[in-house]
Structure 1
Amino acid sequence: MDDVPSWSWLEGRPALDFVNTVIRRGWTEIELIRSPADLDSWLDAAALPAPRPAKVTARDVADFLAVRDAALRLLRAAVGQGAWDAGDTEVLNEALAAAPEVLALGDEPGVVEARPVGSPRPFTLLLARLAGEVRDVLVAGPAELALCDAPGCGQFFFRRRPNQAWCGTPCGNRARVARHHGRGSAAT
C-alpha cells in the first residue's frame, strides 16, 4: 500500500501549493504525487481554486504532473534558478485553453464570478485554474517570490520582509546549523 504524504502548507496560495508538491530531502528532490491516492490526498488538503473532482485517475495524475512540472520550471526561472522555456509556457497556455472562462456578473454589485465556457471535465477545469494561479504569480511580478534554499526544503514562498532568506524558522535553523557544521569541518 502507498504511503500517502502528509501535507504542510507554507502559503495557502494555490499556485505555490501546486508546485510545492515536489520537496527536497537533503539536496534530492522528492515527488509527492506518485499515484491517484496521493493526488486525492492533496486535493482533500489543498486550497483549490475550483471544485474538487469526485474521483481522480492515473490519467489525471499524469496531466497534473505535466502542468505542475512546467509551472515549477517557470517559477524557478522567475527567481533566477533556471532558464525560461517557451515549451513550458505552451503547456500552461494549453491548460488554460482547455477550460476557457468568462467573468460574469455576480449576485451583488462589485462581484464577478468565473464561469467555464462549455462543460469541461472537473479535473480539466481545476488544472486550468491552477495554471491561471501560476500565470497570475508570474504576471504580477514575482519580486516577493523566493525559493527556500535551506537543506531539505526547496519550497516556494512569498517573502514577508525584504531580507527573508528562508520560508520559515525551521529552515533558517537548519541552514544555520549546516553552515556552522560546514565551518567546523573546514577548520579541521
Structure 2
Amino acid sequence: MTAAPLPPAPGTSDHMSLALADTVVTLGSGERVDELDSPEAATQWLIDQDLAPETTALLAYCQSRLAGLREDLRAVMHAQVAGEVPPREALENINSALVAAPSARMLHHTVDRGLHRVPIHPLTQLVEHAMAQIAEDAADLLTGPEAGRLALCGAAPCDRFYLRTHGRRQWCSTRCGDRVRAARSYARSKGGQHGRA
C-alpha cells in the first residue's frame, strides 16, 4: 500500500524548480516515490505546472530529459544548502537548459479562454521551453533573496527541499515534523523504561 502523498513543501507553489526537485522523495517508510516515473506522469506534471498544454503527450526521451534536469537541480540545491561548491556538470546542464529554447510563450486565442499565452512548439521544443523556464526559475531562486531560505528536510530519510518560512523550521511538512517528534518521544519513553529496570 502506498503512503498518502506529502503536502506540498513550502516554496514549491512559487518556484517550479523547487517543485521539480521535489518530484522524487524518500518517505519515512523508506519508500521512494517518483512523480516522473513514466512519460504519462511527466506529462501530467508539466500540465499541472502550466508548462504544457493539455494535449501534450511526452515520449520517454523527453521524460528522461526532464528527470535529468531534476537531478541537476537537486545536486546544485544540495550544494547550496550544504555551503559547498556545486558540481560543474550540473551547473553546465542547467545553463544549457537556460539557453536551449526561447522563453517566449506565444499569444494564442480560443473561444473558451480568449487571448492567452501558450508554448506552441513541436514536442521536443515544448520540453526545451519548459526546461528553460524551470532553469530560469532555479537561477532566480539560487541567486536571489530567497537563496538563504533554501533547506533540506531534517526528517530523514525525507530528502525534499523547501523554503524556510521562519528560522527554526527544520521539516518540509508537519507530517515529517510529527514523525520526528513521535520518534523522539518514543526514544525518551524507552530510555525511561530501561532506567527503571
> TM-score surpassing 0.5?
yes
Cα distance in 2 for residues equivalent to 1:130 and 1:99: 12
Q: 2:128 aligns with which of 112, 124, 139?
A: 124
Displacement of 1:164:
1.2
Q: CA RMSD in A?
A: 3.1
Cα distance in 2 for residues equivalent to 1:74 and 1:183: 37
Q: What TM-score, normalized by structure 1, do the two folds share?
A: 0.77
Local SS of the residue matching 1:162: coil
Cα distance in 1 for residues equivalent to 2:118 and 2:34: 32
Instruction: Show the counterpart of 2:169.
Output: 164
Displacement of 1:165:
1.2
Cα distance in 1 for residues equivalent to 2:167 and 2:63: 36
Q: 1:134 aligns with which of 126, 131, 138?
A: 138
Q: Do the aligned residues in 2 keep the contact of 1:145 with 1:157 (CA within 8 Å)?
A: yes
Q: What TM-score, normalized by structure 2, do the two folds share?
A: 0.73
Instruction: Show the counterpart of 2:62.
Output: 60
Q: Do the aligned residues in 2 keep the contact of 1:71 with 1:88 (CA within 8 Å)?
A: yes
Cα distance in 1 for residues equivalent to 2:177 and 2:149: 18
Q: Percent of aligned pairs with the same residue?
A: 25
Structure with the greater alpha carbon radius of gyration: 2
Instruction: Show the counterpart of 2:41.
Output: 38
Amino acid at match of 1:84: P
Cα distance in 1 for residues equivalent to 2:60 and 2:152: 29
1:7–1:176 distance in 2 versus 1, CA, 3 Å:
closer
1:151–1:185 distance in 2 versus 1, CA, 3 Å:
farther
Instruction: Show the counterpart of 1:88.
Output: 90
Instruction: Show the counterpart of 2:8.
Output: 9
Amino acid at match of 1:9: P
1:157–1:98 distance in 2 versus 1, CA, 3 Å:
same
Local SS of the residue matching 2:82: coil
Q: For residues 105-132 of structure 1, what are the alpha-carbon distances to aligned partners after superposition, in whole Å with 9 as ceiling and x for unaligned?
A: xxxxxxxxx999x987111100111111
Cα distance in 2 for residues equivalent to 1:174 and 1:81: 27
After superposition, where does 1:108-123 map in structure 2 within 5 Å?
A: 121-123=125-127
Amino acid at match of 1:179: R
Instruction: Show the counterpart of 1:111.
Output: none
Structure 2 gaps of 5+ residues are 105-116
Cα distance in 2 for residues equivalent to 1:162 and 1:149: 13
Instruction: Show the counterpart of 2:160.
Output: 155
Q: 2:148 aligns with which of 134, 143, 148?
A: 143
Q: For residues 122-152 of structure 1, what are the alpha-carbon distances to aligned partners after superposition, in whole Å with 9 as ceiling and x for unaligned?
A: 1110011111111111111511111112145
Local SS of the residue matching 1:157: strand
Cα distance in 1 for residues equivalent to 2:7 and 2:126: 25
Q: Which has the higher contact order (CA 8 A, sep 6+)?
A: 2
1:178–1:83 distance in 2 versus 1, CA, 3 Å:
farther
Local SS of the residue matching 1:146: strand
Structure 1 gaps of 5+ residues are 103-113
Q: Do the aligned residues in 2 keep the contact of 1:22 with 1:32 (CA within 8 Å)?
A: yes
